[in-house]
Amino acid sequence: MWQNLIETLDKLGEVYGKLVNIGERKRSALVGIDMNGLSKILDEEQLVTAKIQKLEQKRVEILRDLSQSDKSVTASTRPKDFYRNAPTLAATKKLIELHDRLSRNVDRALTIRNNNQVLAQCALDAVQGRLNRLSGAAVEPTYSGKGAGIVTHQKNFDFKA
């Protein structure tokens, strides 16, 4: 059971590392406004996140099974304290090492995701502004009740004439 946990944590760390690389490529696509490249990256990201979800479910099941055999484990037990229950010192060290690597990769993935969200929002705002200019729309100097800008469109043609 402990070996399954080691293998699962190792795979999770590896897959989160792939997610970090995908996030960095996504940032480049967003900055370069490469929509075709971004579409491919998003497809790849979806596959990786599905793998992460499966591995997380497996990890939770393994931890649940291991914790049921040890009555001293509670919901507030820290992972590193739990790993010290491993049968050998080598397994404990490996679990702690894999846990640290996983934590670093998750933190990096979250940081990159947050940065990419800002870039994507800025790109959408730029596109919306450009579309408004093309359509002759103007933003009023006040806001609507929902906090959004009020956009009015000029009538360039009278279709009833």
* Per-residue pLDDT, 98: 85
Express each pLDDT in 61-85 by its tens digit.
Answer: 888 887 777 667 666 778 777 777 7
The pLDDT value recorded for residue 40 is 92
Share of the chain above pLDDT 90, in %: 25
Residue range 79-100: average pLDDT? Answer: 81
What is the 8-class DSSP label of residue 87?
S
Dist. CA 111–CA 72, nearest whole Å: 35
Q: Read off the pLDDT of residues 101-133 as tens digits, 9 standing for 90 and up.
A: 989 999 999 999 999 889 888 877 777 777 767
What's the pLDDT at 15?
92
What the block records as the tokens of 157 is 């043609």
Distance CA 98, CA 2 (A): 13
* Mean pLDDT over the full length of the chain: 81
Question: How far from 117 is each of 18, 20, 112, 113, CA to CA, in Å?
Answer: 18, 14, 9, 6
Alpha-carbon dihedral sign for residues 107, 20, 96, 7? positive
The Cα–Cα gap between 101 and 94 comes to 11
* pLDDT of res. 2: 80
Note the pLDDT tens digit of each residue in 7-37.
988 998 999 999 999 999 988 888 887 788 8
pLDDT of amino acid 147 = 59
CATH superfamily of 2-142: FlgN-like (1.20.58.300)
What is the C-alpha separation between 127 and 79, in angstroms, rounded?
Answer: 45
pLDDT of residue 30: 83
Residue spans per domain, the chain: 2-142
The per-residue pLDDT for 54 is 94
2 DSSP 8-state letter: H
Neighbours of 123 (CB within 10 A): 15
**Token couple for 109:** 């993935």
